Amino acid sequence: MSWETVYKKWIADPQLDPALKKQLDAMADDPEKLEDCFYTNLEFGTGGMRGEIGPGTNRLNLYTIRKASEGLARYIENAGEEAKKRGVVIAHDPRHFSAEFTLEAAKTLGAHGIKTYIFDSLRPTPVLSFAVRDLHAFSGIVITASHNPPQYNGYKVYNEFGGQLPPKEADEVIRFVASVEDELAVKVGDVDQLKASGDLEVVGDQVDEAYQEKVQTLSLNPELIRRVGSDLKIVYTPLHGTSRYPIINGLKRWGFTNVTVVKEQEEPDPEFSTVKSPNPEEHAAFKIAMEYGKKLNADLLIGTDPDSDRLGVAVRMIKATMSF
C-alpha cells in the first residue's frame, strides 16, 4: 500500500482526531512532509518504539499508541486469563502528550478487559519497574523518549520482572503489534467506565512508600552514613524530569540531608529548556549543576535523565576538580 493511499485513508476518516487533522491539512501542499509521515510504520522493536510526535503512521500519536497497546493486549490475552487479571502498570515522563498517551494505552488495554494501573502523576522508570513487581502485574509500560529531543516521545514495554523484554518475549509482542492492520480502527474503552468496573486503577503514594522502603534496604554501609552522611554536600539535578521527589526523599531517608536541587532544572519541562540534551552522560548537561557545585563547594553532583533510567555523577577530587 502506497503512502498516498494510507494518507487518504487517514484524512477521509470522519473520526480522525481534530488536532491531527489540522496538522495534516497544514501539510496538504507539502508532499515531502506527508510522505515522511506515512511512508512506513513506526517501528516497534525489542525495547518498544520511539519517534517524533505528529500525525501519520511514522509518527507517535494516539493511533500509533493504540496500535502498540492493541498488540500488547493480544500478547497478554494469548498468555491467558491470569495474565489479564494481573494486568499492566503504566508510568509516564513529562514529555509532550505523555499523560494523554498513558490514557490511550490504558483505554486500549481496558477494552480487552485487562486490569490496568496508572499513576496519579509522572513517575520515573525505576518506580515503574518496582511497581510491576509490587502489584504483581504481568507487564509494564513507560511513556518516554528517555533523553531524546523534545519533539520525540516513546513507548517502552516491561515484563513481569520489571525489566525490558528479552528477545523471545519481545519477538512475540512485535508479532502481535504487526498483526494490527488498521490503527484507526482499534477499539478503546471509556475511562470513567473502566474506573467504575475496576479495570482501571490509579495508584500513587502507597507504591511510592513501598518503593522507598525497599530502597532503604540497599544501603551498603548505613552506620557510616549515620556518622558522616549529613556532612556530604550533594547537588542534584533532575534535568526537568521525573525524579526530583524520589531522589531527594531517598537520599534524606538514607541520611544524606545536605542536598541542594538545581532550581533552574527542578520542575518538569517537556522542552528541557535549560539544556541542549537532557542526557546526564554528557558533561554539558551538568553546566548549571557544576556552577552550583563550585559555589557550594559540593562533594558530589548527581543528574538523572527525564525518565531516570540514566544517571550521571561527578565527584570532587583532591585538587578540588570535579571528575565525571
Host H or E run for residue 202: strand 200-203
C-alpha separations of 282 from 26, 231, 270, 289 in Å: 37, 28, 19, 12
**72-98: average pLDDT:** 98
Q: What is the per-residue burial (b if ≥16 Cβ within 10 Å, else e) of 130-157?
A: bbbbbbebbbbbbbbbbbbebbbbbbbb
Q: What is the pLDDT of residues 46-84, one digit of tens each?
A: 789 999 999 999 999 999 999 999 999 999 999 999 999
Cα angle value 240/243/245 (rounded, 5°): 110
Catalytic residue annotation: 146
Residues β-bridged to residue 261: 236
**252-260: average pLDDT:** 96
Q: What is the per-residue burial (b if ≥16 Cβ within 10 Å, else e) of 18-47?
A: eebbebbeebeeeeebbbbbbeebbebeee
Radius of gyration of the chain (CA): 22
Cell 531522589 belongs to which residue? 247
Report the amino acid identity of residue 114: I
Chain centre distance of CA 255: 29
Question: What pLDDT is recorded for position 320?
Answer: 64
What does DSSP assign to residue 16? S
Question: What pLDDT is recorded for position 35?
Answer: 96
* Ordered domains of the chain (ranges, CATH): 40-207 (3.40.120.10), 220-323 (3.40.120.10)
- Give the model's confidence band at 324: pLDDT under 50 very low, under 70 low, under 90 confident, else very high: confident
- CA dist 245 and 272 (Å) reads 18
Q: Given CA atoms 8, 10, 14, 17 in this order, what sign does their dihedral have?
A: negative
**202-217: average pLDDT:** 97
**260-268: average pLDDT:** 97
Report the amino acid identity of residue 24: L
Residue 296 makes CB contacts below 8 A (sequence gap 6+) with 233, 235, 260
**90-94: average pLDDT:** 98
Residues β-bridged to residue 117: 89, 201
**147-153: average pLDDT:** 94
- CA dist 137 and 109 (Å) reads 13
Instruction: Tell me, letter by letter, the H, E, C secondary structure of 43-85.
Output: CCECCEEEEEECCCCCCECHHHHHHHHHHHHHHHHHHCHHHHH
Q: What is the pLDDT of residues 285-317, one digit of tens each?
A: 999 999 999 999 999 999 999 999 999 999 988
Cβ-based burial of 78 (10 A; exposed 0-12, middle 13-18, buried ≥19): exposed
Report the amino acid identity of residue 146: S
